[in-house]
Structure 1
Amino acid sequence: MPTIVHGFDWPDRVAVGTVGRPGSRSFYLQVRSGSRVVSVALEKEQSAALAEKIGEILDQLMTTAGNPVSVPSGTPVELVDNEPLDQPVEPEFRAGAMTLGWDPTTSQVVIEAFPIDTADDDDVPDEPAEMLVVRIPVGTARAFAERTLEVVGAGRAMCPFCGTPMDPDGHVCPVLGER
């Protein structure tokens, strides 16, 4: 069966957002072009790693001698996106593997997300039933990375003593005991 590719070459919007309260949030990568919206479920750690790696790629491009692309060091104000995800959020799949790259022919960051591999016991990965491919310019990529890190960091407060997340109902700190 051929792979269904949810492809976006110049999306109107690409964002990581959440549904739910801190401590029980679900993370989603959502892409929109016109009225077409595709959402993919992510883990919090995947979201953070994606944003960090995009930042690294952009920072490397800024210091590459002879690079013809003007890469912003911060988010251009016109690209700031603080809006919630488009509703309803209906994920196409839960992301397993993700790849990140740079296309010098279009000066775009390329994000690929694949569903969690459900290979049989034969240890041969199945061909993915579907995948998401998003191509975004450098300004949009910088804005995406910064927003994603803000979303990831907006969860539960961290205990200053043990560094674990604190629930609104209380926290048992292994360093200090119950607080």
Structure 2
Amino acid sequence: MARAIHVFRTPDRFVAGTVGQPGNRTFYLQAVHDKRVVSVILEKQQVAVLAERIAALLLEINRRFGTPIPPETADVDDLSPLVTPVDAEFRVGTMGLGWDSEAQTVVVELLAVSETEFDASVVLDDAEEGPDAVRVFLTPESARQFAARSNRVISAGRPPCPLCDEPLDPEGHICVRTNGYLRGEIAGSDDDADE
């Protein structure tokens, strides 16, 4: 069966988003153009890496080619939720990132997890064989907005433990830095003083 490559040359929207509560969130990337919506599922770390690499790519484009790039910002224009229902086309395994100098766009390619080995040359290529893919072309402004929103989505989860940086659960946290003991048990709990 031939692979499906979903191409968005001028997306109306390309965003990271989640479904679920912090600690039990599922991460998605969603590309939208007119009434066409394609969503893929991926890990939180993949979203973080993609946002980080896009920021680095924009700096490199500016350094190498003198292409003007928008400044880094924490402001996000699009804070709307994902288009529902969110039906994932596939789970992302491999991600590709490039620069189309003719179109002056950042190219993001998301490839499906595949049980069969494939050559890295299928990334950003229209080869007949290989995993399904979503390919999105973003202006530098859209790429910067994608990275800013992605960082916001990532940080909206559970706060990190101040000792070990692992996420804190509302039910409690077994911290590796305290050898599994709760912090109050080591330093003495304030509750003990009232007895």
TM norm. shorter chain > 0.5: yes
Q: Aligned with 2:152: secondary structure?
A: helix
Identity across aligned pairs (percent)? Answer: 42
Q: Which aligned runs of 4 or more in structure 1 are off by greater than 4 angstroms?
A: none
- 1:17 corresponding residue in structure 2: 17
- 1:61 corresponding residue in structure 2: 61
Q: Write out aligned runs for 1:107-122 (5 A).
A: 107-119=104-116
- 1:70 corresponding residue in structure 2: 68
What are structure 1's unaligned runs of at least 5 residues? none
Residues 29-75 of structure 1 deviation map (CA, whole Å, 9 limit, x = unaligned): 100000100000011111000000000011122233x52x3211135
Match of 1:168 among 161, 170, 182: 170
Q: Is the 8 A contact 2:163 2:175 kept in 1?
A: yes
What are structure 2's unaligned runs of at least 5 residues? 120-128, 184-195
Q: Is the 8 A contact 1:44 1:152 kept in 2?
A: yes
Larger radius of gyration: 2
- 1:5 corresponding residue in structure 2: 5
Q: Write out aligned runs for 1:65-144 (5 A).
A: 66-67=65-66, 69-75=67-73, 80-119=77-116, 124-125=117-118, 127-144=129-146
Residues 88-143 of structure 1 deviation map (CA, whole Å, 9 limit, x = unaligned): 10000000011000000000000111110112xxxx43933521010010000000
Which structure's residues are more often strand, by fraction?
A: 1
Please identify, of 149-158 and 96-105, the stretch whose mean Cα deviation from structure 2 is larger. Answer: 149-158
Q: Is the 8 A contact 2:113 2:131 kept in 1?
A: no
Q: How many residues of Structure 1 are paired with residues of Structure 2 in the alignment?
A: 172
The CA deviation at 1:23 is 0.9
In the superposition, the TM-score normalised over structure 2's length comes to 0.82
- 2:186 corresponding residue in structure 1: none
Give the whole-Å Cα distance in 2 for the aligned partners of 1:47 and 1:32: 18
- 1:34 corresponding residue in structure 2: 34
Which structure's residues are more often helix, by fraction?
A: 2
Q: Does 1:52 align with 2:49?
A: no
Give the whole-Å Cα distance in 1 for the aligned partners of 2:139 and 2:2: 28
